Amino acid sequence: MKVLVVGSGGREHAIVWKLSQSNTVDRIFCAPGNAGISEIAECVDISVNDFDALINFVKHYWIDITIVGPEEPLAKGIVDVFEREGRKIVGPSKIAAQMESSKVFAKEFMKRHRIPTAEYKVFTSHTHAEEYIRMKGAPIVIKAEGLAAGKGVIVANDIDEALNGLKLIMKDKIFGDAGNRVVIEDCLKGEEASYMVFTDGNSILPMASSQDHKRVFDMDQGPNTGGMGAYSPAPVVTSEVEKLILDKIIKPTIFGLKSEKIKFKGILYAGLMIKDGLPNVLEFNCRLGDPETQPIMMRMNNDLLDISLAIADERLDKIIPAWQNNASVCVVLASAGYPGKYEKGKIIKGLDEVKKLKDTVVFHAGTAYVDNNLVTNGGRVLGVTALGENIKLAKEKAYKAIEKIHFEGMHYRKDIADRALNRK
């Protein structure tokens, strides 16, 4: 079978890597892909948002199924376009993708269906939002209403930080039109976790739990990023907590949408805050997380193509989940300055040495080939991911591999997975 993966980051590299292990996959294409993906798939120079070109490519090459990685094409309706053409694709429709593309839609949906989440208010007026922040006090959370590449959330610990964050979003428009409306909500305390499921709109297939690290610096300092590393499983998601997540959050969401005549097919991602064994929703995403996908794909024993076809054909209930009992840790290597301004074109060295290491894979996020040199081509550059019998051993393998890699300005957190290791 022929598969097209849409996207160009570390998540898409992990998806392609997993698909390449399937006995029924003949050819894998990726649009547009990156340098690492080009080693195991055929990269095609088509933008993720050029739906006409993507459809024409699928028709010309007789692609059997398309898997969408990033959120933007989903929010813009790529699934609706493909399904109108009778093409199999994994992802939610435009209206279902509002669970990620519109924080207001998601919060109002959760309120209607009594899904646990923080109290909130929605503002289109900077003045009214400012008054509300002064009244509520801090800590407080300000969210750009629309898509912001995983960076549109400001957790403010004092009033000045909150007011400055509000100005950046609503007046300075650092996230563009995504900041025309803001959601201001109470700051939940506890431990974060990511919980993702495959769904065909009728059945749910849970994935292994994971935990992301959003802040750019150690000890969760600095601005939010798309994610600086992740590990799986997340010890905070015990079997009891997982049951609550499924019963109180995931099922009410999938079946609540269905009750509103919205079928959600693809991947539902719940970003959670867990305190005293009780989960609350921080956000929903409508696709695989990045970098959570990297450690999760390392641990998954199922054939990803089988799951993808089962989602498209609405027979996911026939798939039996299979996961390795070990753990996986991913550490992101980023460009200097990320998530702000950064330079591209820095030569990357040492990956040939890492390829010799057992149970270690380097997933490319922002890379390209220039004059036969592998160079940086994004803010997040590589995701060094390792398997181990437990989180401690997986972490040691990942950081040992990082010692062999170098590019000018390379930055990474030194404390990925410490939260799991330091749990009392």
Interval 270-297: pLDDT, tens: 999 999 999 999 999 999 999 999 999 9
Look at residue 76 and tell me whether its pLDDT is greater than 90: yes
Instruction: Calculate mean pLDDT across residues 53-62.
Output: 98
What is the structure's pLDDT at 152? 78
Interval 308-337: pLDDT, tens: 999 999 999 999 999 999 999 999 999 999
Interval 348-406: pLDDT, tens: 999 999 999 999 999 999 999 999 999 999 999 999 999 999 999 999 999 999 999 99
What is the structure's pLDDT at 146? 79
> Any idea what the Cα angle at residue 411 is, between residues 424 and 195, rounded to 5°?
45
Residue identified by tokens 């201001």 is 184
Domains of the chain with bracketed CATH: 2-91 (3.40.50.20), 125-180 (3.30.1490.20), 189-318 (3.30.470.20), 327-421 (3.90.600.10)
Interval 112-164: pLDDT, tens: 999 999 999 999 999 999 999 999 898 999 988 877 766 678 888 999 999 99
Q: pLDDT band at 415, cuts 50/70/90? A: very high
Interval 100-124: pLDDT, tens: 999 999 999 999 999 999 999 999 9
What is the structure's pLDDT at 275? 96
What is the structure's pLDDT at 151? 66
What is the structure's pLDDT at 138? 87
Interval 167-223: pLDDT, tens: 999 888 988 888 888 999 999 999 999 999 999 999 999 999 999 999 999 999 998
Q: For 74, left (φ over 0), alpha (ψ -120 to 50), or beta?
A: alpha
What is the structure's pLDDT at 249? 98
What is the structure's pLDDT at 149? 67
Cis peptide leading into 139, omega within 30 of 0? yes
What is the structure's pLDDT at 396? 98
Look at residue 256 and tell me whether its pLDDT is greater than 70: yes
What is the structure's pLDDT at 98? 96
**Cα separation, 48 vs 107, whole angstroms:** 27
3-state SS string over the chain?
CEEEEEECCHHHHHHHHHHCCCCCCCEEEEEECCCCHHHCCEECCCCCCCHHHHHHHHHHCCCCEEEECCHHHHHCCHHHHHHHCCCCEECCCCCCCHHHHCHHHHHHHHHHCCCCECCEEEECCHHHHHHHHHHHCCCEEEEECCCCCCCCEEEECCHHHHHHHHHHHHCCCCCHHHHCCEEEEECCCCEEEEEEEEECCCCEEECCCEEECCEEEHHHEEEECCCCEEEECCCCCCHHHHHHHHHHHHHHHHHHHHHCCCCCCEEEEEEEEEECCEEEEEEEECCCCCCCHHHHHHHECCCHHHHHHHHHCCCHHHCCCCECCCEEEEEEEECCCCCCCCCCCCECECHHHHCCCCCEEEEECCEEEECCEEEECCCEEEEEEEEECCHHHHHHHHHHHHCCCECCCCECCCCCCHHHHCCC
**Cα separation, 14 vs 296, whole angstroms:** 9
Please provide the average confidence, as pLDDT, over all residues in the chain.
95
